[in-house]
Amino acid sequence: MPELRLRARLVFAVALAVAPVVTAAAQPAATFDECDALVRRAPREPASYRCYNFVTRDGRGTLHEAIARLTSYTLLDPENAPAWLALGQAHDRDGRRPEAEAAYGHAIAAYDRRGDAYGRVLARTSLASLLQRADREDDSETPLDEAQAIASVDGRSELTVRTAVSKAWLAYRRLDYGGALRLLDAVAGGLDAVPYDAHSDWLSARAATLWALGQHPDAKALYLRQADLLHASGDFHEEAIARVNVLLFVSGDEKVRLAQEALHLARRAGNRRAEASAHYYLAEATPGEESRAHARRAIEINVAIGHPEGLLRARRVLAFRTLDVDPEQAFTLIDASIDDARRSGDANELVRQWVLRTSMRWRVGPREQAIADAQTTLGLIEALRNLQPETDIRAMRFAQWRGQYYLLAGRLLAGELREHADPEAIARDRQLAFETIERLRARSLLDRLDAAAATGQLLSDDPLHAERRDVLARLARANRELADRRLSDDARRERLAARDALEREEARLSAELTRRDPVFASTVEPHLASIEALRRALAPDEAIVVLHLVSNLWDVQRQPIGAWGWAITRTQVEVRPLPDVRYLSSAVDLFLGLLERRDGSEAIASTGIYRDYLAPLVESLPDGITKLVVVPDDALHRVPLDVLRATADGEPLGVRFQISLAPSASVWLRWRQQPFDLAAEPVLALADPAFSGRDEAVVAALERASGTGVPVGQLPYARVEARALARQAGRGSRVLDGARASEHFVKTGGIDRYRILHLAAHALVDEEQPARTAVLLAPGSETEDGLLQLREVVGLGLGGRVVVLSACRSASGRFIPGEGLMGLAHGFFQAGARAVVANLWPVRDAEAADIVQRLYFHLGRGESLGAAVAAARRELMLAGRPAAAWSGLVVIGDAEVVPIPGGAAPAWPWWGGVVVALVGVSAGGWWWERHRRSREVAS
């Protein structure tokens, strides 16, 4: 929940800015007069000035008075660094961000002049926290980098931990949860040597990150550890906040009990914000008038302490709890909160308010108004999404609201189950439900295609292009340096920090370039496929199956709204409810584990997956359907659908159908409606990249990234595969292997001359940082690192071509709910590819070469991409090969494209053979005549 994020950041900001030592934080709250006495006794000690903030913390003094007294000290002595730091923290808590920023700046300058490393770090991390909470993440990088450098030279564990926690919060705000965990884990070994409050900050940051990743049991355990640590240290004020955070992970009677305990602790410690939050959770967990009373009390406290976020939250729960007794008053409350959220400029809170208003409207009606409110909510969600410039972050933040799309679609489709429903109303609801899911599915890819960004046709004269190329070159150099095994730990940390900064700069430049594209600027709404448009685009023997899978959501009447599937053909549209997806992932894990055994034992496991999620749709198809385009969801992205079967001894689905995949129906329709651009030559193949001694660092980087501990070797079969496919694809095909199979050539060698780009190499799939996913090639120049990363793939300008990725896991990637897979295939589609052939899992070199040669044999006969892949799979199936050897190769995109229409041209044209024959005959005649004459002379 966002409240956790806000509270966690606030706890961090207060604790870090104040930075109390153990004795100072644990001591009882004093009075301002006692603080004055501390300053007189120790005018240069930071604890003397922190005292003023501790007094205000439990309400014994006001922030305004603390600010006045601290200001007087800075006027008397402008070099009083600890007074400036405490003043900045007081302004920060009072919501005066400009004044706080100025005070922190004075503290930094004064501490720098004093050469006080401890103060220099604290002042900078305090400023960084303020900037982050003001949504100025980029501005916070400079003080954080400076703090890290100071802490590294100083060497104290406390400063290293505090800086790492501050940088982790920055990564958290950017949704780089993997980066946040790496920063925190790197300093975990030094926690025993730091003050309790620094340890507490570390626990809070790690708990919040695990919560964001959905690892709720681990997050709850960390908050409990934090609460126990704070209790043992006597810091009951901060303990109250930790106890409130635990309430995110409990429900029912336990939630009531723990909320009451947190409320008692907050009152005893004088933590009014924690007190208001405890009342909020009690309002959520209790019924009727008791709930409303807690909500009103939360509102009163938040008004008194000037906490607008808490006020809006409390109003939400009061509005919902008032709905049963006074609907008019309930909507008055929620509408007032919506107005306040709009005025505050808090886009997240505005969305949350509309989500609740929509739920309330579904409960009391009318239905048409509820549908209209739901569409307003989705529009606000998408406006919030578009505030994020980076594709990955946009997709991940969008995924947080996916439930609203599933809820609206589910409510609309539930009308199909009503008796005596109006057929016209059902048709309208079906169309709106379908569009709702399409607004969610593969949305970042759809945006790219709508913006024409996939073709790379951005403003070619924009100076940012040169700036981005420079950043990419520096990034390549950083990757090569990082791969050096001789680096010391300190040097590696420095280079990692530099690499991360370059990646963020590249993402910023890419986002800005995309936004400057005039086509992109004009794109407001995505171009979504309608059901009728899909029906017209489908061939008579073709069907598209669209799945939207979700664990049961519950509407306001506590009715389940779950998963649905669509089966659309030229003649009919079938919509079917599907089972709860809660246990699908474990079923898929079992199936894939059995598949790896290569003994046929996966057959039984496959029947359950087919029965629950495909049979209701496949069995509804009319006769004559032989091709399936499937838009998968959830764990089905990992499943080779060809292997599924209705019974354990029945034939696999791949025998009955030619199956291809698509990221969304709208994207598929876009490809289907565009003509295929027949480039001059059939195939460009890069196979088995080789490395010189100076490039061994790149290989080492891949070995470490693979996480297997097994060195990544050469791919000799890939060379055989590439040469065979070049022969089968026909005249004009080109093969580059070894050192010639380079990243430099891909970027500069005119790949637009070829219809098919074939890459037979290793792949690096980074699910935490999708932009680092890469194909490993030879560098080819000093400016490249050999890692053709996703951020570089999207700029290749493929213009409707086919890409064959004969690389392990090239069809996989990071699964983002709603969006789908963010991996190599996604990147090649962003670059403009029409279809991608890729592998779901690691494949054996010889098996990969076998199936790819079969694929190109059929392509060389003029077959479509989908038909060629299906034929290659069936041949291996009928030959008795295990399913793991052939089922991982999948077609994503437009499977009906024919890359070599009419079949492959022979390596020599027909007249070339005639010429050779004539030359041969002539040469033979000349030789015979000469031989005859020589014999005559001899005789």
**pLDDT score recorded for residue 563:** 85
Please state the rounded mean pLDDT for residues 468-497. 77
Range of weakest confidence among 238-247, 252-261, 309-318, 725-734: 725-734
pLDDT at 298 over 90: yes
Count the alpha carbons within 13 Å of 462 in the hemisphere toward its beta carbon: 19
Buried b (16+ CB within 10 A) or exposed e, 531-548: beebeebbeeebbbbbbb
Q: State the average pLDDT for the chain.
A: 80
**pLDDT score recorded for residue 395:** 67
CA distances from 238 to 197, 408, 570 (A): 9, 40, 63
Q: Cis omega (within 30 of 0) on the bond before 906?
A: no
Please state the rounded mean pLDDT for residues 53-64. 71
Alpha helices (H) in 749-789, listed in sequence order: none
pLDDT at 160 over 80: yes
Q: Which residue has the higher pLDDT, 726 or 913?
A: 726
Distance, CA of 778 to CA of 630 (rounded, Å): 35
Say which residues have a Cβ less than 8 Å from residue 912's Cβ, sequence separation at least 6: none
Distance, CA of 212 to CA of 449 (rounded, Å): 30
Three-class SS state of 778: strand
- CB–CB of 744/704 below 8 Å? no
**pLDDT score recorded for residue 11:** 36
Number of Cβ within 10 Å of residue 561's Cβ equals: 21
pLDDT tier at 515, thresholds 50, 70, 90: low
Range of weakest confidence among 277-286, 371-380, 686-695: 686-695
Per-residue DSSP letter, 135: T
pLDDT tier at 49, thresholds 50, 70, 90: confident
CA distances from 370 to 8, 400, 407, 550, 893 (A): 34, 21, 12, 22, 36
Buried b (16+ CB within 10 A) or exposed e, 579-607: eebeebeebbeebbebbeeeeeebbebbb
Distance, CA of 906 to CA of 860 (rounded, Å): 10
Please state the rounded mean pLDDT for residues 556-584. 82
pLDDT at 108 over 50: yes
pLDDT at 95 over 90: no
51: left (phi over 0), alpha (psi -120 to 50) or beta: alpha
Token pair of 299, please?
A: 């509102």
CA distances from 463 to 468, 504, 507 (A): 9, 18, 16
Give me the amino acid identity at 418.
R
What percentage of residues in the chain have a pLDDT greater than 70?
81
Look up tokens 């919509």; give the residue. Answer: 575
Closest residue by Cα to residue 142 from 159, 160, 127: 127
Token pair of 98, please?
A: 């400009």
Say which residues have a Cβ less than 8 Å from residue 151's Cβ, sequence separation at least 6: 117, 121, 159, 160, 162, 163
Closest residue by Cα to residue 201 from 218, 220, 184, 177: 184
pLDDT tier at 536, thresholds 50, 70, 90: very high
**pLDDT score recorded for residue 526:** 63
pLDDT at 777 over 70: yes
pLDDT at 292 over 90: yes
DSSP symbols for 426-454: HHHHHHHHHHHHHHHTTHHHHHHHHTTGG
pLDDT tier at 499, thresholds 50, 70, 90: confident
Reported as a single tens digit per residue, the pLDDT across 421-472 is 677 888 888 999 999 988 888 776 766 665 543 334 444 556 777 787 788 8
- CA 627, 631, 635, 638 dihedral sign is positive
CA distances from 365 to 357, 369, 403 (A): 11, 7, 20
Distance, CA of 336 to CA of 353 (rounded, Å): 10
How much is the pTM?
A: 0.74
Per-residue DSSP letter, 581: G
Token pair of 558, please?
A: 């506590």
**pLDDT score recorded for residue 590:** 92
Reported as a single tens digit per residue, the pLDDT across 795-854 is 787 888 899 988 777 767 666 666 667 678 888 888 888 899 988 877 777 888 888 888
Reported as a single tens digit per residue, the pLDDT across 711-734 is 455 676 777 777 877 788 778 888
Distance, CA of 191 to CA of 198 (rounded, Å): 8
- Rounded to 5°, the CA angle 382-383-387 comes to 110
739 burial (CB, 10 Å; 0-12 / 13-18 / 19+) is middle
Token pair of 688, please?
A: 């088995």
**pLDDT score recorded for residue 59:** 56
pLDDT at 916 over 60: no
**pLDDT score recorded for residue 456:** 40
pLDDT at 546 over 50: yes
Token pair of 178, please?
A: 């993997």
Range of weakest confidence among 522-526, 754-758, 810-814: 522-526
Reported as a single tens digit per residue, the pLDDT across 349-375 is 888 899 999 999 998 989 899 999 999
Token pair of 131, please?
A: 């900037």
Closest residue by Cα to residue 214 from 771, 817, 638: 817
- CB–CB of 62/44 below 8 Å? no
**pLDDT score recorded for residue 18:** 34
Partnered with residue 839 across adjacent β-strands are: 889
672 burial (CB, 10 Å; 0-12 / 13-18 / 19+) is buried
Distance, CA of 245 to CA of 208 (rounded, Å): 9
pLDDT tier at 908, thresholds 50, 70, 90: very low
Range of weakest confidence among 129-133, 239-243, 472-476, 551-555: 551-555
Distance, CA of 768 to CA of 329 (rounded, Å): 46
Distance, CA of 483 to CA of 703 (rounded, Å): 10
pLDDT tier at 410, thresholds 50, 70, 90: confident
Distance, CA of 465 to CA of 658 (rounded, Å): 42
Q: Cis omega (within 30 of 0) on the bond before 663?
A: no
Distance, CA of 897 to CA of 867 (rounded, Å): 10
Three-class SS state of 645: coil
Say which residues have a Cβ less than 8 Å from residue 750's Cβ, sequence separation at least 6: none
Q: Which residue has the higher pLDDT, 874 or 56?
A: 874
Give me the amino acid identity at 168.
A
Look up tokens 């900078």; give the residue. Answer: 124
- CA 297, 301, 302, 304 dihedral sign is positive
- CB–CB of 393/503 below 8 Å? no
Say which residues have a Cβ less than 8 Å from residue 419's Cβ, sequence separation at least 6: none
Reported as a single tens digit per residue, the pLDDT across 450-464 is 554 333 444 455 677
Three-class SS state of 796: coil
